């Protein structure tokens, strides 16, 4: 038997939404390293182009930046036409765009007798605008790109979708109800779509990253003044059996595994990449 490899990914075409972000960049690097052609579809075209150029130069793979808003179907269709023209039919989609926002975050963790007279800081003070934005970005922002970017896979009767969930999908963290509910919906949608597409050769899975310090959560886990972990950041580390935040590169193995033919009989699953966080009961 030949040694297992990710050679099947060479010259395939992969689109990654939000690929210019911290975790997305690490995933793009891994995928480029096995010779896949990649389109970084990001709302921030300037950064997408920059990341694409850097990774292309480093890896020798064809990597391009494409402007796309995951909440706007027309913009996604426009992006698909450009990707098809420049790279060919799409084989793989990674739904990486997502994140939380301070506007959808409660100021306090729980309501107690000390703060019950200041409901603005709690669930009752959440602004629907922020809540809607976060829910849409994480759920609809996975749904719409999947509708648009899997069309070539459907025609080829072969393809892969990889969604990006979170630890919040299993057990919600305090303060971030919109993000938690939206990521729970990603797990459910991953299962639903995997069944819907199983007979036409398209696999649908997800990874659930544990805790990585990135733009979207720095304000929650770091103390800007001291540069140390905030009490919340420290709590995360204390509840991660490996005793640390993850490095973006830690997502690379699970990503390649799930998008490659080596996981041919795997669909509808969510793999935690979390240093043991989801396995730990806290005691
Ligand atoms: P990030 O903020 O570094 O990157 C997000 C990227 O998405 C950015 O490049 C941004 O420009 C792009 N984006 C935002 N809105 C968009 C839109 N409407 N259309 C297209 N692109 C858009 O975030 P990250 O930390 O790298 O997170 C990547 C994914 O991983 C997200 O889905 C996030 O929820 C998830 N995640 C992150 C962590 C963590 O600890 N950072 C943990 C679990 C899951």
pLDDT tens-digit readout, 140-169: 999 999 999 999 999 999 999 999 999 999
Structural domain range at position 219: 215-245
Would you state the pLDDT for residue 98? 97
Is 179 one of the catalytic residues?
yes
Does one domain contain both 75 and 44?
Answer: yes
CA–CA distance, 233 with 106 (Å, rounded to integer):
16
Query: Is 97 a member of any domain?
Result: yes
CA–CA distance, 258 with 204 (Å, rounded to integer):
9
pLDDT tens-digit readout, 131-144: 999 999 999 999 99
Does one domain contain both 21 and 155?
Answer: yes
Residue 147, number of CB atoms within 10 A of its CB: 11
Query: Is 138 a member of any domain?
Result: yes
Residues with CB under 6 Å of ligand 1 are 17-18, 20-24, 42-44, 68-71, 96-99, 137, 141, 164, 166, 209, 211-212, 214-217
**How many structural domains are present in the chain?**
2
Does one domain contain both 88 and 160?
Answer: yes
Catalytic residue (one of 124, 170, 179, 277): 179
Does one domain contain both 190 and 238?
Answer: no
Whether 278 and 208 have beta carbons less than 8 Å apart is answered as yes
Q: Which atom of ligand 1 is nearest to the CA of 48?
A: 9
pLDDT band at 220; cut points 50, 70, 90: confident
């Amino acid at each position: 038997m030949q040694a297992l490899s990710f050679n099947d990914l060479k010259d395939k075409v992969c689109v990654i939404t939000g690929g210019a972000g911290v975790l997305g960049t690490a995933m793009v690097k891994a995928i480029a390293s096995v010779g896949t052609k990649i389109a970084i579809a990001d709302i921030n075209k300037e950064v997408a182009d920059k990341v694409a150029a850097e990774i292309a130069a480093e890896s020798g793979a064809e990597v391009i930046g494409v402007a796309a808003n995951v909440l706007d179907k027309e913009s996604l269709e426009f992006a698909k036409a450009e990707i098809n023209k420049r790279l060919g039919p799409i084989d793989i989609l990674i739904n990486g765009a997502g994140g939380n926002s301070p506007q959808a975050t409660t100021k306090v963790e729980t309501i107690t007798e000390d703060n019950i007279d200041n409901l603005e800081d709690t669930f009752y003070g959440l602004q629907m605008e922020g809540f809607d934005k976060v829910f849409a970005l994480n759920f609809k922002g996975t749904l719409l790109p999947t509708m648009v970017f899997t069309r070539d896979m459907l025609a080829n009767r072969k393809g892969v979708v990889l969604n990006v969930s979170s630890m919040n999908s299993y057990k919600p963290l305090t303060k971030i109800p919109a993000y938690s509910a939206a990521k729970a919906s990603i797990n459910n949608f991953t299962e639903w779509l995997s069944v819907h597409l199983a007979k036409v050769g398209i696999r649908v899975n997800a990874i659930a990253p544990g805790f990585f310090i990135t733009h979207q959560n720095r304000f929650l886990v770091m103390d800007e003044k001291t540069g140390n972990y905030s009490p919340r950041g420290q709590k995360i580390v204390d509840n991660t059996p490996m005793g640390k935040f993850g490095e973006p590169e830690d997502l690379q193995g699970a990503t390649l595994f799930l998008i490659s033919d080596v996981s041919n009989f795997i669909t509808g699953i969510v793999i935690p990449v979390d240093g043991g966080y989801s396995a730990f009961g806290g005691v």
